[in-house]
Chain A
């Protein structure tokens, strides 16, 4: 009898958790207020069964939802666990119910992606509106929600354009002793002009082993770029269609130095480019159906084709004039180049059952098309390069995105512009 009661309690507890209509989610985010730069905050929201935020669900008069002592933000690193002071306020408030709780962090705390942050909510704090009644969330017990540092890192690239975003990787594998770095510094609204932005990029891939210096990872690039993103309309667009038919482009002017890691070969590049997202009837029609799902109507917004056109003046800064070195296009006298690239990912199917291949997984399938052309005026030569990739990504609940890729590539590939005809199979991890 005792065992039966215990089992019944366990089942009831499990059912309570399973039946909880709303799931809490805490994420790093940005709070945007007029005349202030965006601030890092943590938001606690509740999601319904479809993963959408629930509106006006947190009872403000009951419990202590806006008292800072009801919460703890824990920052954990190896061997240390400290509490970070927060203040709380509510957003999306309607008739005594809030939609989200926003935690502003003590400005003295410097966020670090090496910390593991957890939001701890004390018992008896949160009361939610469920089916017309107000009930204590998590049946009145404490609960923890882990925070994802990837979101923090992405927000930092937006909120702190003048801060340094650098990256250093040490890689093993073929060649060994490889390292790469990325350093980016962005300046928004240069000289108070809201249309003008600047960016400094330094990146390098190099090898510490002298015998490998000319074989693997052998590139240093420094670039200064002025850019402006803008929306525009074709002439004659009706006044009530200006936003509905707006197009997006980003224009830049750039100066760049490309070198190998030993500074024996270096080119300088000065140029301009214009990237535009097209809205054309062909990609619209093709992306309206998923052909691997029996031509079912697509229910996702896929990215429009991107066309980038540009002009570069390339001239040689230094060359080792080694007859045995790879065959490069001669840039000794300075070359004018026009270039264009068209990129589009065509969604072929979603949640496709591939059980007939003996694989018990569902996948998304896309066809990535890339057409690239460069015309060099001095040598009067057109160099084209095209790639078609069939990408498969298994459906997974995790943040890790694995893409299996089968590519066919042809043309002349930079920087040597030797002929390439290749069928490639690969794996890409995005996280």
Chain B
């Protein structure tokens, strides 16, 4: 299984450019208490802006999450629907979802 600390760092790095406050101290250190931050509506709101301006932000986020897990040596199961429908309400839940959906890459 992907390590929780690695999954948390991947989530923070990926969504940091789209949220108002900083989630990271530096490239390898998430801010304290960052896990409890709610992100249930974040991807829905980004998806609505994507539709309005013809952007592809949610696709880019999903691709970044997947590629970062592959770089760590793990396949993952995660859908665009899981993000936009708010299946994972906090940063911790999304990090756990990367972990629980991971298998070693062949």
Interface size class of A (residues with CB under 8 A): 35 or more
Does residue A287 face the partner (Cβ distance < 8 Å to B)? Answer: yes
Tell me, rounded to whole Å, the shortest Cβ–Cβ distance linking B68 to chain A.
10
Tell me, rounded to whole Å, the shortest Cβ–Cβ distance linking B47 to chain A.
8
Whether A31 contacts B100 in the complex (CB less than 8 A), given A243-B27, A244-B22, A343-B49, comes out as: no
> Across the interface, which residues of A come within 8 angstroms of B84, CB to CB?
154
The answer to whether A53 and B93 touch across the interface, beta carbons within 8 angstroms, is yes
> Across the interface, which residues of A come within 8 angstroms of B79, CB to CB?
27-30, 151, 154-155, 158
Q: Within residues 69 to 88 of chain B, which ones have a CB less than 8 A from any CB in chain A?
A: 69-70, 75-82, 84-85, 87-88
Q: For B49, give the chain A residue with the smallest CB separation.
A: A306
* Extra 18 A-B pairs, beta carbons < 8 Å, given A56-B1, A151-B79: A28-B79, A33-B75, A33-B105, A91-B101, A92-B100, A99-B1, A150-B81, A243-B13, A244-B24, A248-B17, A248-B57, A250-B60, A283-B20, A299-B37, A301-B37, A302-B20, A303-B45, A304-B17
The answer to whether B105 and A155 touch across the interface, beta carbons within 8 angstroms, is no
Does residue B32 face the partner (Cβ distance < 8 Å to A)? Answer: no
The answer to whether B82 and A29 touch across the interface, beta carbons within 8 angstroms, is yes
Cα A277 to Cα B81 in complex, Å, equals 22
Interface 0/1 of A67-102, CB less than 8 Å to B: 000000000000000000000010111100001101
Binding site for A on B (CB under 8 A): 1, 13, 15-28, 36-42, 44-46, 48-49, 53-57, 59-60, 62, 66, 69-70, 75-82, 84-85, 87-93, 96-97, 99-103, 105-106
The answer to whether A31 and B16 touch across the interface, beta carbons within 8 angstroms, is no
Whether A288 contacts B78 in the complex (CB less than 8 A), given A244-B27, A343-B49, comes out as: no
> Across the interface, which residues of A come within 8 angstroms of B100, CB to CB?
45, 53-55, 91-92, 99-100
Interface 0/1 of A273-292, CB less than 8 Å to B: 00101010001100110000
8 Å CB contact of A30 from B42, B57, B80? B80
* Stretch from A1-9, A129-137, A210-218, A223-231 forming part of the interface with B: A223-231
Cα A343 to Cα B52 in complex, Å, equals 11
The answer to whether B60 and A248 touch across the interface, beta carbons within 8 angstroms, is yes
The answer to whether A301 and B105 touch across the interface, beta carbons within 8 angstroms, is no
The answer to whether A246 and B54 touch across the interface, beta carbons within 8 angstroms, is no
Does residue A405 face the partner (Cβ distance < 8 Å to B)? Answer: no
8 Å CB contact of B93 from A33, A52, A102? A52
Chain A to chain B contacts (Cβ below 8 Å), 15 pairs? A30-B77, A34-B75, A41-B77, A52-B89, A53-B96, A56-B1, A100-B101, A151-B79, A151-B85, A154-B80, A227-B56, A229-B57, A287-B20, A301-B37, A304-B17
The answer to whether A27 and B82 touch across the interface, beta carbons within 8 angstroms, is yes
Does residue A300 face the partner (Cβ distance < 8 Å to B)? Answer: yes
Whether A244 contacts B26 in the complex (CB less than 8 A), given A279-B17, A299-B37, comes out as: yes
Tell me, rounded to whole Å, the shortest Cβ–Cβ distance linking B93 to chain A.
4
